[in-house]
Chains A and B, each alone.
Chain A
Amino acid sequence: MIADAVAADAAIADSLVAVAIVLLSVAALVALYRVIAGPSLVDRVIASDVLLTTLIIVVGTEMAINGHTRTIPLMVALAAVGIFGSVAVARFVSRPVPESRLTQEEEL
Chain B
Amino acid sequence: MTLGDSAFWDPILDIAAAVFLALAAFLTLAAAVGLIRFPDPLSRLHAATKPQILGLIFVVIAIALGVRSWTVLLLLIPVVVFQLLTAPISAHMVGRAAYRAGDFDSDTLTTDELAPDIEAAGRSDLPGGQLMDEPPRSARPPRTRRPGPAKGRRGAS
Contact = CB atoms under 8 A, between A and B. Distances in A.
Interface of A: 2, 5-6, 9-10, 12-14, 16-17, 19-24, 26-28, 30-31, 33-34, 40-43, 45-47, 49-50, 53-54, 56-57, 60-61, 63-65, 67, 69, 72, 75-76, 79-80, 82-83, 86-87, 89-91, 93-95, 97-103, 106-107
Contacts of A2: 1
- Secondary structure type dominating chain B contacts: helix
Interface of B: 1, 11-12, 14-15, 17-19, 21-22, 24-26, 28-29, 31-33, 35-36, 41, 44-45, 48, 51-52, 55-56, 59-60, 62-63, 65-67, 69, 72, 75-76, 78-80, 82-83, 86-87, 89-90, 93-94, 96-98, 100-103, 123, 125-126, 131, 134, 137, 140, 143-147
B92 to A, nearest CB: 9
23 contacts: A5-B11, A9-B15, A13-B15, A17-B22, A20-B18, A20-B21, A33-B36, A42-B41, A45-B94, A53-B51, A53-B56, A54-B28, A56-B79, A60-B62, A61-B21, A67-B66, A83-B87, A86-B94, A89-B97, A94-B101, A98-B125, A101-B123, A103-B145
B90 A60 contact: no
B59 A64 contact: yes
A53 B52 contact: yes
A93 B59 CA distance: 33
A106 B101 CA distance: 22
